[in-house]
Amino acid sequence: MGNIFSSSIGKKLVMSISGLFLLLFLALHLTINLLLLVGPDAFNLAANFMGTNPIIMIMEPILGLGFVIHILYATIITLKNQTARPQGYKTVDQSNASTWQSRNMYVLGLIVLSFLIMHVTNFFWNLKFGTVPTVIVDGVEMHNTYLLVTSLFTTVWWINPLYIIGALALGYHLSHGFWSAFHTIGWNNTIWMKRLKVISYLYAILIAGGFSIISLYFWLLA
């Protein structure tokens, strides 16, 4: 039992559990970001709540650790799979045995990581350590997070195409990772797999489409 997390199954289990944790974060993060389309006050109030709520503040380093663990174990598993493959692997047609997403999960993950670094650098880092104008909403002074986010979308042209590419890569990553995580933890019977794969694709479309719509709105319409 003590060696379970050093085994192949154990590593996949850790990656799956951390991935499921990140799935919940993505849903919450998208919900907050969609308030950008509602208006400045709605988004600023939500962003201020997320930035000042003690529970959320405690969860931030846990969330960061979740990303690190997920990326670390994904790297370990990928490298192990690469070294375990026979020499003739590249001559075998894998297209009928697995989906494109499953064969390129690590590449998609690297694109998502680049997207995350860009997101943290331009938004989170500036908000925490930069100089952000303040605004008063409902009598409370807070960071004008709405101005920070929308100004980047409307004035820095390259942010939008990279943001959309990152969102689409995230969608492809999730379309396989969602149901695969449940498969690893034991929800792998025929009936549940069919349902989970449908839910996975719907969830992936929702996440990728939601983040893309936000960028497109401020890039093309605002």
Return the HEC string of 23-78. Answer: HHHHHHHHHHHHHHHCCHHHHHHHHHHHHHCHHHHHHHHHHHHHHHHHHHHHHHHH
- What residues form DSSP beta bridges with 135? 142
pLDDT of residue 168: 92
pLDDT of residue 222: 57
pLDDT of residue 201: 93
pLDDT of residue 142: 94
Contact 15, 75 (CB under 8 A): no
pTM beyond 0.75: the answer is yes
Q: What is the CA radius of gyration of the chain?
A: 20
Q: Which residue has the tokens 């042209």?
A: 157
What DSSP string describes 102-143?
A: HHTHHHHHHHHHHHHHHHIIIIIHHHHHS---EEEETTEEEE
Contact 167, 215 (CB under 8 A): yes
In angstroms, rounded to a whole number, what is the distance separating the alpha carbons of residues 122 and 51?
A: 16
DSSP conformational letter for 201: H
pLDDT of the chain, 222 residues: tens digit per residue:
445 556 677 777 877 788 888 888 889 999 999 999 999 999 999 999 998 889 888 888 888 888 888 888 788 877 777 776 555 445 445 555 567 777 777 788 888 888 888 888 888 888 888 788 999 999 999 999 999 999 989 988 888 998 999 999 999 888 888 888 888 777 777 778 888 889 999 999 999 999 999 999 998 875
SS percent in the chain: helix, strand, coil, step 5: 80, 5, 15
